[in-house]
Structure 1
Amino acid sequence: MAPHLHHSLNRDQKIDDAGVGRPREPAADPVGRFHVAWQQGGRPIAVSAWRITTQDHAIADALGGFYGGVPQLLDTGDAHVVEVLTRCDRVPVLLDDGGAVSLRMVMRGAGETFHVCDGTRFLEPAGARGSLCGCPVSLADRKAAAQAGRGPTPEVRIGFRLADLPELGVFSLVSSSWELAAEVPALAAALGAAAVPALGVLRYELVEFSTRSGIAVSYRRPVVEIGRTQALARDAVRLAA
């Protein structure tokens, strides 16, 4: 059964944060990437389970065999990418250290990235690196500036291995979720205090609520839980058919 599609909406808690450390670059390119949506006509369309892409056919076959889903070849123009629409909305993962989770603020326009910072100082462009970026201190104020078109949006990067298939290598998730961005300091602290590698769970959480006018709204967002004492059983990560 194919994953059910619905339009993805944005809704985030107003949580202040005092800033996060500068992101560290990953040691190597990831072997695959987890996604929360398709792009259809330039618009993100959420799916009900994890979507994974890779350029390695053997990795795609292993993912499909364990998490469900049939690998499909996508022609992206520059490279052939294999997509697996899994039947899992939660996956046990292994995170190596605090550098496995990072946050930077990014502003793009007209196909160009012209502002990249850590919330306090510029990371890019190279000529401005290290200088004050002028972003608000709290994440809530940063969100307000971004919604007004005056500030960057979050780019959360998470690098992890699959606890069920660690031999495949390191995967990544890149998210612009304000909610996940608010959780980065706590995640980094938990990873810093945990034994390496830390066992966690990557969830694709369904959030449902009603507006004041009574309109039912739902959307999905990525969630990372650290400190699980044991990996999920194989049946526990499967969605119902």
Structure 2
Amino acid sequence: MAPYPHYSPSGDRNLDDARADRPRVSASDPVGRFHAARQQAGRPIAVSAWRVTTESHAVADAVGGLYGGVPKRLDNGDEHVVEVLTRHDHIPVLLGGCRAVSLRMVMRGAGETFHACDGTRFLEPADARGSLCGCPASLADRKAAAQAGRGPTPEARLDFRLADLPELGVFSLVSTSWELAAELPALAAALDAAAVPVGGVLRYELVEFATRSGIEVSYRRPVVEIGRTQVLAQDAVRLAA
């Protein structure tokens, strides 16, 4: 396969990845990102297996070799990214302790982040960093405020290595799921109590059910398992009709 040039990351966004891929500025930044959806005509469309984006053709080739899928360059205006639509809906991963998960609450508007906090104190803007943000203490109250347009939404992040090729580097999954935000403390505690790195499985689970009115509904959701215990589940990303 011919090598790709070195691309800067894409501006691709979806319901499960609130932050777009962005240029790496340090060795600690992820080499690639996992997604539960892709953009089509400006809408997030769920796919049947994990989607991975990266700025590195070497990473894309390695992911495709491990989990299937042909690396494809995406062109979004001035930004480019290599995408791999894998053929696997479950990926063995290694989680490096409680620091592998993080959560911040974010409110954006007109392409600008004007509120980012840890739930108690501001992280952004810079001139407010460290001061009290005024967000409710409980996640349920935060969700109610966000749904009313008066508060930020969660931005949960999971960092991990591929158990099949850990030397490839750290990947990330970023989610706006309230359910994921609620599960993060339990996941962090489990990771903190276990030996590092912790082995697990990142699954892209299909859920199917019928509503009370008889309508068949199906959606995919990422799920992280440590051993046989499910410790983390992400809110639904509904499949397109």
TM-score, reference length from structure 2? 0.80
TM-superposed CA distance for 1:197, in Å, is 0.7
SS of the equivalent of 1:50 reads strand
**Cα distance in 2, alignment partners of residues 91 and 145 from structure 1:** 35
Structure 2 CA distance for partners of 1:89 and 1:217, relative to 1, 3 Å: same
> What is the letter of the counterpart of residue 162 of structure 2?
L
Q: Write the mapping of 1:1-241 to structure 2, written as runs, cut at 5 A.
A: 28-227=28-227
Counterpart-to-counterpart distance in 2, 1:212 and 1:147: 25
Q: Write the letter of the residue equivalent to 2:135.
A: C
CA RMSD of aligned residues (A): 2.1
CA distance in 1 between partners of 2:113 and 2:179 (Å):
23
In the TM superposition, residue 228 of structure 1 has moved relative to its aligned partner by 5.7
Question: Which residue identity is paired with 2:110?
Answer: A
SS at the partner of 1:142?
A: helix
SS at match of 2:164: coil
Report the AA paired with residue 211 of structure 2: T
Residue 237 of structure 1 corresponds to none
Distance 1:134 1:104 in 2: 14
1:9 Cα offset (Å) = 9.1
Q: In structure 2, do the counterparts of structure 1 residues 90 and 47 end up closer, same or farther at CA, with 3 Å as the change threshold? A: same
Q: What is the deviation of 1:150?
A: 1.4
Query: Distance in 1 between the 2:155 and 2:90 partners?
Result: 21
In the alignment, is the contact (CA less than 8 A) between 1:187 and 1:226 conserved in 2?
A: no
Q: CA–CA distance in 2 between the matches of 1:194 and 1:121? A: 29
Q: Distance in 1 between matches of 2:209 and 2:84?
A: 30
Scaled by the length of structure 1, the TM-score of the pair is: 0.80
- Greater displacement, 168-177 / 126-135: 126-135
**How far apart, CA to CA, are the structure 2 residues paired with 1:9 and 1:55?**
21
Question: What is the rounded CA distance, in whole Å, between the counterparts of 1:199 and 1:130 in structure 2?
Answer: 35
3-state SS of paired residue (1:58) = helix
8 A Cα contact 1:38 1:47, kept in partner: yes
Mean CA deviation greater in 186-195 or 37-46: 37-46
Q: List alignment gaps of at least 5 residues for structure 1.
A: 1-7, 11-25, 230-241
Q: Which residue identity is paired with 1:47?
A: V
Cα shift at 1:27: 6.3
1:126-185 superposed Cα distances (whole Å, 9 cap, x missing partner): 111122212222222222221221111111111110001112111111111111111100
Q: Which amino acid aligns with 1:39?
A: Q
Identity %: 82
- For the residues of structure 2 that align with 1:113 and 1:101, how far apart are their CA atoms? 21
1:123 counterpart SS class? strand
Which of 1 and 2 has higher RCO (CA within 8 Å, sep 6+)?
A: 1
Q: How many residues end up aligned between the 2 structures? A: 207
CA distance in 2, matches of 1:212, 1:148: 27
The question of whether the paired residues in 2 share the 8 Å contact of 1:93 and 1:161 is answered with yes
Structure 2: state its 5+ residue gaps: 1-13, 17-25, 230-241
The amino acid of 2:69's aligned partner reads G
Q: Which is worse superposed, 105-114 or 212-221? A: 212-221
- Specify the SS of the correspondent of 1:145: helix
Q: 2 CA distance for matches of 1:67 and 1:89? A: 9
